[in-house]
Amino acid sequence: MNLLDILKGIAAGTLTGISPGVHVNTIAVLGGSFVFLFSMGLTHTFLDAIPSTFLGVPDEGTALAVLPAHRMVLRGRGMEVVELAMKASFMAVIFSILLYPPYTILAPLYRPIYGKIAVIILIILMVITDRVIEHSIVLMASGVLGVIVLREMTLRHPLFHLFTGLFGMPVLIHSIAHPGKVRDAGGGSVKVEQILVSSLIGSLLGMLASLLPAFTASQAAVIGSLRERNDVKFLSIVYSVNTANFMFCVFNRHITGRARNGVVASMTWSPGPIVTALIALVVALVVLSYGTWVGRLFIALMRVLDQRKLSTAVMVFLVVLSAWFDGALGVAVLGTATLIGMMPLKLGSRRTACMGVLMVPLLVTGW
């Protein structure tokens, strides 16, 4: 276990985690040791909640958390969200390690059809809950966009344009039209026992997502949204799914040799589950110790800066980043996704319906 690689990985994961629009896969493709890549990827899952919370910029794993987290910030509970993200992610690491033994039995049983069955069940659950027509319209609109972009277009970073447009831009536009004020920079008030069950649920869903590659961490988080209406418990599920999914993807590589995400695919060697668990605990404890401090910096920044100007600057940055990734076509996809992302607000449906962007392509084309 190379301590220097752990520290380098934590530093790199911190950079990708708090930088709007910069994904951990961007650095992972450059390569590195297993310890470095694992430490970076795990750190990223702890901290990527911060830009999505305070700036409205989503990562794939935290997309569904953008709106409820931003809502809590405007209610003066910003540090509570940061503390929630840190503790839920830490609990997900613990639960993932404890669930490793049964996972060794489940991982080899995977068959491609299981992912499609899971998505069909999830779509049915999403549509029949409430506001069936409105929910179906948003789901199909985002689904058609997903089919076109993921099946018919060749883009370097298609998920960036899709998730930023569907989940990030609408929040930023709302912040510009109705600017709020961050009222506190105080400490959070999240106790582990408050989120213990939610974190376990999130960890189990993250495990499920790692077993079914077509069933992503974001889709697993949708199940959490169907079960939980309380913002704190819902967010703890989303953040736990994100971290647990990464942990189990690494475990899956140990057991079956399959790579379920970009960081894991870049790993050329694995030390085994025991050493991986030890590294995970070290990284989790280190990030837990400074993660809330990073959150305080973001809150201090938001208290000083004008919200309209900040949101506008972030939007411009994301459009520029979209153009840099894929030119005018990327910007066009981003704009289309933004229009669809505004539909839940206009129709009164839930934003989770926008996850049709991944579900429908899977069912139609096998993406």
Q: What share of the chain is helix, strand, coil (3-state, %, to 5)?
A: 80, 0, 20
- Per-residue confidence in pLDDT tens, the chain, 367 aa: 688 999 999 999 998 888 876 667 667 766 789 999 999 999 999 998 888 777 766 665 555 666 677 678 777 788 888 899 999 999 999 999 999 999 999 988 877 677 778 778 877 877 776 678 888 899 999 999 999 999 888 898 898 899 889 888 887 887 787 766 665 545 557 777 788 998 999 999 899 888 875 556 666 666 666 655 677 888 888 899 989 999 999 999 889 888 777 788 788 777 888 999 999 999 999 999 999 899 888 878 877 877 788 888 888 988 998 999 899 999 999 999 999 999 988 887 777 788 888 888 878 765 5
Residue with tokens 């030119």: 327
28 with 37: CB under 8 angstroms?
A: yes
Task: Work out the angle at residue 262's Cα, subtended by the Cα atoms of residues 225 and 114, and round it to the nearest 5 degrees.
Answer: 55
Q: How far apart are CA 210 and CA 60, in angstroms?
A: 14
Number of H helices, E strands in the chain: 19, 0
CA distance 152 to 317: 27
Packed helices 231-256 and 78-98: angle between N→C axes, nearest 10 degrees:
30
Q: Which residue has the tokens 């702890």?
A: 46
Nearest Cα residue to 220 out of 248, 196, 194, 254: 248
Distance, CA of 322 to CA of 206 (rounded, Å): 28
pTM of model > 0.95: no
**pLDDT on residue 326:** 92
Sequence-distant (≥ 6) Cβ neighbours of residue 257 within 8 angstroms: none
Question: Could you tell me the residue ranges of all domains in the chain?
Answer: 3-365
**What is residue 342's predicted lDDT score, i.e. its pLDDT?**
92
Q: How far apart are CA 92 and CA 89, in angstroms?
A: 5
Interatomic CA distance for residues 85 and 68, integer angstroms: 13
Residue 156: DSSP 8-state: S
Q: Rounded distance, CA 326 to CA 157, Å? A: 7
Dist. CA 75–CA 276, nearest whole Å: 39
